[in-house]
Amino acid sequence: MLILVTTPIGNLGDMPPRGVETMQAADVVLCEDTRVTRKLTTRFGIDTRLIPLHDHNEDQMIDGILKRLSEGQTVALVSDAGMPLISDPGYRLVRAVIAAGLDVSGVPGANAALMALQLSGLPTDRFLFTGFAPSKTVGRQKWLAEVADTPASLIFFESPNRLVASLSDMLAVFGNRPASVSRELTKQFEETRRGSLGDLLAHYEQAGAPKGEICICVGGPLPPEPTTEADLDAAILSALKTQTVKSAAADVAQALNLPKRDVYQRAITLRKGE
């Protein structure tokens, strides 16, 4: 059986007894970096053999792991921190194990994305985890635009050095939505800062890059500002300069998301008053 074991975020927090027992009882433990995971296994007295499995060797490792599983061995999979497969290696292996008809299970634990959402103060009934954004501004803004209209709280991982750039692009693409920045979750210096994207951007521009793993949560689309009568009249009068009443009313109704008939009647009134 392949067992996905969630480890403490940063390998510094507590680990559920079941996770320790699973890793101790496994025939091998697959991990991203043996040097990182050995700190964890040493701390909890786990002496199981560690085998590296990461983005660069996952495809080559799959056949050998499937052979172990088919022989009845138990293989545990951990990432450097947190939940395996969540922005970490393992998806291709799990898919291959399922396709081979072999068993996959898991030992849950703390997850940075969900914990950040819990601490953000944003709605939790619907959310989208997006992982890491592209590193360059053009690609990042295009990528952010793809999720901008998602009616849910958005969760992002980010590196400390790109935090200001990402907040700036989020403000440009999303508008000034409520948001939070969490770092070092479950560790000694755990911190969550809440505010609008503009407030958070201003803070980190002044304070500089924070330390540790970063998780950004952003609220869903802001409700549109109600259209005032003055706004409607201005839009209609502008459209009437180059369009017929019917055409102007149709375009304004679509742009302001208003009933076409109501806009048309107002356009007739304004035309008569000219």
**Euclidean distance between CA atoms 263 and 245, whole angstroms:** 10
Residue 13: predicted pLDDT? 59
CATH 3.40.50.2300 fits 2-107, yes or no: no
CA distances (Å), origin 22, targets 5, 34, 206? 8, 17, 45
Q: What is the pLDDT of residues 72-124, one digit of tens each?
A: 999 999 988 788 887 788 889 999 999 999 999 998 877 788 888 988 989 98
The class of domain 112-218 in CATH terms is alpha beta
pTM score: 0.69
The string of DSSP letters for the chain reads -EEEE-B-GGG-S---HHHHHHHHHSSEEEES-HHHHHHHHHHTT--PEEEE--TTTHHHHHHHHHHHHHTT--EEE--SSBSTTSSSS-HHHHHHHHHTT--EEEE----HHHHHHHHH-S--SSEEEEEEPPSSHHHHHHHHHHHTT-SSEEEEEE-GGGHHHHHHHHHHHH-S-EEEEEESTTSTT-EEEEEEHHHHHHHHHHH-PPSS-EEEEE--PPPPPPPPHHHHHHHHHHHHTTS-HHHHHHHHHHHHT--HHHHHHHHHHHHHH-
The mean pLDDT value for 186-212 works out to 89
Residue 74: predicted pLDDT? 96
Q: What is the pLDDT of residues 37-69, one digit of tens each?
A: 998 999 899 999 999 999 899 999 999 999 999
Structure confidence at residue 219 as a pLDDT band (50, 70, 90): very high
Q: What is the pLDDT of residues 152-173, one digit of tens each?
A: 999 999 999 999 999 999 999 9
Check if the beta carbon of residue 93 is closer than 8 Å to that of residue 53.
yes
Q: What is the pLDDT of residues 27-37, one digit of tens each?
A: 999 999 999 99
The mean pLDDT value for 240-266 works out to 87
Residue 109: predicted pLDDT? 77
The mean pLDDT value for 242-256 works out to 87
